[in-house]
Amino acid sequence: MDAGQADFATLFEALPVGAYRSRPDGTMVRANAALVRLNGYGSEAELLGAVHDIAREWYVDPGRRAEFSRLLEADGRVTAFVSEVWRHRTRERIWISENATLVRDEAGRVRWYEGTVEEITERVLTEQALQRSEARLQQLMALMPGVVYRLAIHADGSRHYTFVSDGVRELYGLEPEQVMADGDTLVSLRHPDEDRSLRANDRALREQLDLEYEVHVQLPDGREKWVQVISAPAPSEDGHQVRVGMLFDITARKQAEQALRASSDWWKRALESTCDGVWDWDFAHGTGHLSAQGRALFGYGTDDMPDDPAALDAATHPDDFPAMLAAREAHFSGRAPAYINEHRVRCRDGRWKWVLSRGVVMERDADGRPLRMIGTHTDIDAAKQAEALRHERDRAAAADQAKSHLLSRVSHELRTPLNAILGFAQLLALPDQRAGADAQARYVEHILDGGRHLLALVDDILDLSAAQTGELRITVETLEARGVLDEVLRMFTPAAEQAGVTLQDTTAGAVLPPLRADRRRSVQVLSNLVSNAIKYHRRGGHVRLEAGVEGGMVRIAVHDDGPGLGTAQLARLFQPFERAGAERGPVPGTGLGLVLRRQLA
């Protein structure tokens, strides 16, 4: 081997990419170290011994070898021939780029192919991923309503579109190529009244701002449309400012809004012809309108009150304000088909006037939030006053009827003990009274019982009357619940023993907080419950006193296992002088105890 051949061999082995010599039949003659490694072998001899037919053993598509040979024999060389091949030893699929030259002998016959092989798997996979991504993006853009665009703005203010999606055909009736050929095509279609949107667009370009607005356009065929424009700055390229954006057709929405506004204006004018006050509230822009009748309803002139329904919120009676807001929110949220509320509003002269306020949301945004509501105020002050007078009349009539009934019952209840007192007193007054001392003592006891019954009856009637008129004196103090319970237990333990009833105290271990109450009235209420449970019980029965804390309050309960009451008796339980049939029994009573205790509670 001469020096030139030795230098060539060194260069062949040192190449960073694979290099080879092969025969046209696919037999490999030489392979450098880089090609050996690319195929997963440890030496050239190992590779040459393993490869027999490049076409079948190396190319994933065997037809690529035939195409490679055809190009090589036609042109004498092949450049950047990309194929998918097997890494020969591991059978891993990789991508390569080949450059090759055809070598002939003196007779012109093909002796072999010489060339280089470079693995480009990572590059090909990246390109394929990019192609798939671009394909998906193109598909999404084709399906997306509206137009997606990319706009470059030059230093001299001229512009050109570097991308326009196919949606421009439907929106503007133009081909994407037309728009990209002339950067001012879309701007030229803006309606002559669109100076404001042009100024907003120019400012966004100067100051690199996000932009969203609605623009009125006039198409080449004379049709008019409304377009929503959304754009944002993108990274600059080659010194050019770049913006990306979207265009949406909102013509149908605009037409619906205009029709709705025209309809609501018609209804507003119709309502203004009545005596009701009409209000129109634009939440989207924070503005509103209150008709002249609406102002006059509260004594205001045109210049005396802001032209805004929200001004009436500040004049609403504080007691009515929460309910008014709740009714409004119920309609805003869709829980009520309309806003309806009665409340008082302060008039200019300081008096309060009742109005019936009604309204309906006319427009909502995409999330359902109200944008505009129209409603009326109807003067119901006279009706409210008449209703109050009817209520007072009905209450007075009911009180008068109750008083007559009470007097009738009181006279009946007083007659029984008075007859006893008079009868036994007459017996003692007889001149020929021959009764002994024992009989006289019984007469006196009957007279005393009748007197005590009368006193209890009169006391209960006086307390009940005072409680119903609000004149009952109540002294609130801080006291221990345990002390009240102990006092009642001490008071009725002897009576329970005498009646053969077990009085159980289950409150001994309960931790009870201090009370804020009237001690005398608390004992009075609890005593009546315990007394009734004992008096109307049977021998061998049980009465149980319980106490506990619920929600920051002390709950005291009296339980018994007595005969109980029927449904009809329970319905009459708190009627004055109603004793649920006990008036025919041996237990004395006035029938006012529970009524009074309930009033006290």
pLDDT > 90? residue 531: no
SS3 label, residue 209: coil
User: Which pLDDT value is given to residue 576?
Assistant: 67
Question: 29-38, 205-214, 346-355, 356-365: which range is least confident on average?
Answer: 205-214
Report helix, strand or coil for 83: strand
Question: 548: which residues sit within 8 A by CB, 6+ positions away?
Answer: 510, 512, 554, 555
**98 confidence band (pLDDT: 50, 70, 90):** very high
The arithmetic mean of pLDDT across residues 521-542, rounded, is 81
| Spatial separation of the C-alpha atoms in residues 310 and 281, rounded to whole Å | 8
Q: Does 267 score more than 60 pLDDT?
A: no
SS3 231: strand
Nearest to 280 by CA among 307, 299, 248, 240: 307
- Whether the pLDDT of residue 78 is over 90: the answer is yes
- DSSP state for residue 26 in the 8-state scheme: S
The string of pLDDT tens digits covering residues 388-401 is: 788 878 776 765 66
Q: Coil, strand or helix: which one is 291?
A: coil
33-42, 358-367, 504-513: least confident range: 504-513
**Range ranked top by mean pLDDT from 8-22, 318-332, 482-496:** 318-332
pLDDT, one tens digit per residue, over 188-226 is 888 776 666 667 677 777 777 887 878 888 888 888 888
pLDDT at 33 over 90: yes
pLDDT of 293: 79
Q: Is residue 1 predicted with pLDDT exceeding 60?
A: no
Higher model confidence: residue 237 or residue 56?
56
Torsions phi, psi of 140, nearest 5?
A: -60, -45
Does residue 271 register a pLDDT over 60? no
Is pLDDT at 547 greater than 80 in this prediction? yes
Residue bearing tokens 């159980």? 504
Per DSSP, the residues of 535-566 read HTS-TT-EEEEEEEEETTEEEEEEEE-S----
The per-residue pLDDT for 586 is 64
Residue 442 has a pLDDT of: 73
Query: What percent of the chain has pLDDT above 70?
Result: 77
pTM attached to this predicted model = 0.34
Q: Distance (Å, rounded) from C-alpha 251 to C-alpha 75?
A: 61
Residue pair 89/6 in contact (Cβ under 8 Å)? The answer is no
Our measurement of the distance from residue 584's CA atom to the centroid of its chain's CA atoms, rounded to an integer in Å, reads 62
Instruction: Count the residues in the chain.
Output: 601
Q: What pLDDT does 489 receive? A: 83
How much is the mean pLDDT over the chain?
80
Q: Smallest Cα–Cα separation from 530: which of 509, 499, 573?
A: 499
Q: What is the mean pLDDT of residues 1-7?
A: 49
Q: What pLDDT score was predicted for residue 3?
A: 46
Q: Rounded mean pLDDT of 61-84?
A: 92
30 versus 187: the higher-pLDDT residue is: 30
- What is the mean pLDDT of the segment spanning 80-92? 94
pLDDT surpassing 90 at residue 331? yes
Q: What is the mean pLDDT of residues 528-541?
A: 82
pLDDT at 537 over 70: yes
From residue 166, alpha-carbon distances to 139, 173, 315 in Å are: 10, 10, 57
Contact status, residue 573 vs residue 531, Cβ threshold 8 Å = no
Q: Tokens 């404001």 belong to which residue?
A: 196
Contacts of 268 (CB under 8 A, 6+ apart): 278, 280, 291, 374
Report, as an integer, the average pLDDT of 128-157: 80
Give the mean pLDDT of 503-507: 82
How many C-beta atoms surround the C-beta of residue 188 within 10 A? 10
Average pLDDT over residues 132-154: 79
Tokens of 263: 């309809």
**What are 354's strand-pairing partners?**
344
What percent of the chain is predicted at pLDDT more than 90? 19
| pLDDT for position 42 | 93
Residue 299 pLDDT > 80, yes or no? yes
**For the chain, the helix, strand and coil percentages under 3-state DSSP, each to the nearest 5:** 45, 25, 30
| Confidence band for 571, pLDDT divided at 50, 70 and 90 | low
Judged against a pLDDT cut of 80, whether residue 107 lies above it is answered with yes
Statement: residue 411 has pLDDT above 60: no
Per DSSP bridges, beta strands 502-505 and 542-550 are: parallel
